[in-house]
Chain A
Amino acid sequence: MPNALGLERADYKGGTSTLCPGCGHDSISNQIISAAYDLGLPMHRVIKLSGIGCSSKTPAYFLKGSHGFNSVHGRMPSVATGATTANSDLIAIGVSGDGDTGSIGFGQFKHLIRRNVPMVYIIENNGVYGLTKGQFSATSDAGQELKYYGRNELPAIDLCLEAIIGGATFVARSFSGDAKQAQTLIKAAISHRGTAVIDIISPCVTFNNDPKSNKSYDYGKKNEIALHEIDFMPKGYVPAREEITVDDYAAGESIQVRMHDGSYITLKKLDNDHDPRSRAAAISVLEQAQREEKFMTGLIYYEEPRMTFGETMNITDTPLTHLPDSKLRPSRDALEAIMKEHM
């Protein structure tokens, strides 16, 4: 069935994946395709960016109508910063991995968030280096065992915790085996104005899918604890209604978060009382999950967006890329005046 733009879901596909059959990353690509199709995203306005690694190959496998950029290892955030600064009309979707984000690109990840560069930043987190054949990554859990490299004695970096501490305004965790939730979070992230981080646990079927590994399908399916049942209503599909406040949530079953562009996220309460609009609660829920070795997913933190990076620089609303030449080159008089100042 064609979407609002008259496009079929197949139109949002990309090239054929060259990842291992069953790779979690492919199902994430599928969720991106579905999200873009459902939302009726104009593909020409989307840019797909990545670093290096298995995850970073995936932008070639979705949204063939969008410009893609497979850059260098760990430095996709800076490329995204430049591209979105040059053209604020672009909808940027970045795909990274746990090595790309948690190790070589850790600094750029933190600084992207600090600047609040408007983009969706998806981490396809499998806790292992795939392309180099199975080394531990910085998100591998302590005690994890790998065939060749033995036992990991170092604590894992929690990328959601890092994102929140770094100042991210949209932080979520999901599981590639939980298609509906992942897709809903991706849709909401696209509506977010600022850096939206989604850490998606995505099993590596070749190097890290032992049922004992907490990045495996088995583990995820058995242990995932969703914080809420999440729904996303994009702008235009929402019946007009008053924004529901935190108090309503305390009283009842669900909370609605009105996003900057007029979309709504609806969170239905499950077994816990997590309010993603509290930074302290978000940090606490992640630390609890860490402590109790629980796999908690969902929208962990959401904050009314602060200024985007472009806004902090007071650049023109017209994308810099679209400025006419007359606004790129000052006049002859302007040069003469400066020359006189130097005489």
Chain B
Amino acid sequence: MTVELQTNVQSQYTGQPIVNDFALMVATKNGSGSQTSNAVIIRSLYRMGIPVSGKNLFPSNIKGLPTWYTIRASKDGYIARRATTEIAVCFNQDTAAEDIANLPAGGVVIIPKDWKWGQSRPDVIYYEVPIKEIMAKTDIPSDFRDRIANMIYVGAVAYLFDLPLDIVNRALADQFNGKPKPTAMNFGVVELAYEWSKENLDKSLQPFRFEPMNLTQGKILIEGNEAAALGSLFGGVTVVAWYPITPSTSLVDGILDHLDIRKDPDTGKNTVAIVQAEDELSAIGTIIGAGWAGSRSMTATSGPGISLMAEFAGLAYFAEIPCVIWDITRTGPSTGLPTRTSQGDLLFIHFLSHGDTRQVVLLPGSVKECFEFGWRSFDYADQLQTPIFVMSDLDLGMNLWLSDPFDYPDQPINHGKVLDKDQLEAFIAEHGEWYRYKDYDGDGIGYRTIPGTDHNRAAYFTRGTGHNEKATYSERGDDWVNNLYRLRHKMENARALLPQPIVDHDPAKKIGILSYGSNDPAILEARDLLAAAGIQTNYMRVRALPFADSVRDFVLNHERVYVVENNFDGQMAQILRMEIPEDNRHMISLACGDTLPLSAQWVFDHVVQHENK
């Protein structure tokens, strides 16, 4: 069967409106204040009940470099990044030529009239909006003028594509947390631009329209990093140590923003210590010290920070100390592109440290899972007595996502095998002994005590050097090997404990797609596109390493399995090949890694291309 590749080009306007199924791209300069305007458009669509997603493509720069913000409305509920956008709001002269060139035929340009840009493309509609003229009608203080001028495109967009002004006003109030003064100041400009557009622009020249729906009722809009922060706070974190790094910074900011929910009601004091460390080495050292001392501790970082944490990660793995490490990935190697997304740390964190190490990695695929894994990660860390890595990415972490509200934790806090004074007494009475690293339960996990336990046999010596089950220093080969066997056994058991994959499997279908993390929306949409083109697929979304046993079954039970991921080397495919020793030549690695959030089109094109071979 041969499937025709779909073209990306939007057909010319034929008079039929295109409702709630297009994308709009806003090109501005970084630091110009356009984030507020973009958020207001998103919040307006959300308020209209239209499924919406926003992708911020921003530079590694404070002010001046180009930034693009893509807003997608989808009546079908697709929230992945759209490869093509039909509408370009060109508010950055440096990129306008390219931004206009990238539009499909039938596209729309909104551009400042002040630039006298010209209209070189006959196949797109130009709407020129006079910035100076509109701003001249306002009495906004000069300090705010440049930033608020971005509200002009909000007004023009509102008129041209039917965003009701009262909804925009409410979205502005949301954005400014209900503060009337900035809301009114910004809305004044929106209104002026709207009125000007109404008098001077002909919106019937293009088909794009927003219409109210009811698909966002009861849903929330939130960034993954804030979701992770909330999850951590509900998971009982008490020590956070970090070093600022894009794109993880907003995770710890989220903890700071919501710290009030963790004030001690009795004393008003903080139950969470937040340590801004001097570097990532210190950040992970601090959380390891805290985890060892019995508290729930975490850090958030990105690739370069992970590199620095490698040695300590090995210590925590080998000395079996719980802690949680969020890796909000960006492109690497090296400094790479600090503000572009990637899933390129997967292999590195799974094996982080020298020597024989296998780290646990959780792979949230939505903001909801960022919250859920936020609290569960501490239980896993305590239960497994090991560092838990949670790999999110810039796309999931820093963009706004539409989601169902988060579910309250359905399980009580689980501290794992910790013996307090009385429990230790009882343990010794039962077993006649207690040794820190002895496997009493056959699950590879020993019992630990925490410093401060008032029992004369509670103390043990924690070390990264070779040790036996009594936690004493040992250079014996058999002690070393026995210890590694136990650690391997622990990790094997972890497969069943950790979040199991999400599977949509119909045995009649011969083609499987396997993926993870923030690729989920693109894959869900691509499967619909593929189905429409006659390619039926099953789907497994892996949510943790080491793999659940069902991963192997999924791979082996298909004629072809596409492993889709957003890094350059196909790192998940490599891990699968390593873990599944059977013939796995039917497994095809589709690794994107082009620095952008995955699009359904990319997945569709690559699967079709391969199916046509």
Contacts and interface: CB of A to CB of B under 8 A. Distances in A.
Interface of A: 15, 42-45, 47, 49, 59-60, 64-72, 75, 77-87, 89-90, 107-108, 111, 310, 313-321, 323, 325, 327-330, 332, 334-336, 338-339, 342-343
Interface in B346-393: 375
B428 interface: no
Contacts of A339: 220, 405-406
Interface of B: 218-222, 230, 233-236, 238-239, 241, 258, 261-262, 264-265, 267, 269-275, 277-279, 281-297, 311-312, 315, 375, 405-406, 408-409, 412-413, 449-456, 458-465, 472-473
A179 to B, nearest CB: 25
Nearest to A111: B278
A78 B241 CA distance: 10
Contacts, number: 225
A338 B286 CA distance: 29
A15 B271 CA distance: 37
Nearest 10 CB-CB pairings of A with B: A82-B289, A78-B285, A328-B236, A86-B295, A82-B290, A79-B289, A82-B286, A342-B220, A67-B451, A86-B293
Contacts of B277: 78, 111
A332 B463 CA distance: 40
Given A43-B459, A75-B282, A108-B282, A86 B288 contact: no
Contacts of A108: 278, 281-282, 285
A15 B295 CA distance: 28
A75 B272 CA distance: 23
A86 B290 contact: yes
A191 B322 CA distance: 31
Contacts of A327: 262, 264-265, 271
Contact of B285 (A66, A71, A318): A71
15 contacts: A15-B472, A44-B454, A44-B455, A44-B458, A67-B449, A71-B464, A82-B288, A85-B295, A86-B239, A87-B450, A108-B285, A315-B270, A315-B271, A320-B295, A342-B222
B285 A317 contact: no
A342 B221 contact: yes
B270 A314 contact: yes
Given A329-B409, A342-B222, A72 B315 contact: yes
Contact of A68 (B406, B452, B454, B461): B461
A65 B406 contact: no
A310 B273 contact: yes
Max chain A C-beta neighbours (<10 A), residue from B235, B279, B295: B295
B450 A325 contact: no
A316 B271 contact: yes
A82 B293 CA distance: 8
A317 B264 CA distance: 10
A94 to B, nearest CB: 11
B293 A335 contact: no
A89 B294 CA distance: 13
Given A108-B278, A321-B294, A71 B315 contact: yes
Nearest to A76: B285
A322 to B, nearest CB: 8
A90 B289 CA distance: 12
Contacts of B297: 82, 86
A313 B273 CA distance: 6
A72 B270 CA distance: 30
Nearest to A45: B452
Contact of A83 (B236, B270, B292, B465): B292
A321 B408 CA distance: 23
Contacts of B219: 343
A343 B219 CA distance: 6
A318 B238 CA distance: 12
Contacts of B293: 47, 82-84, 86-87, 90, 321
Contacts of B408: 332, 335
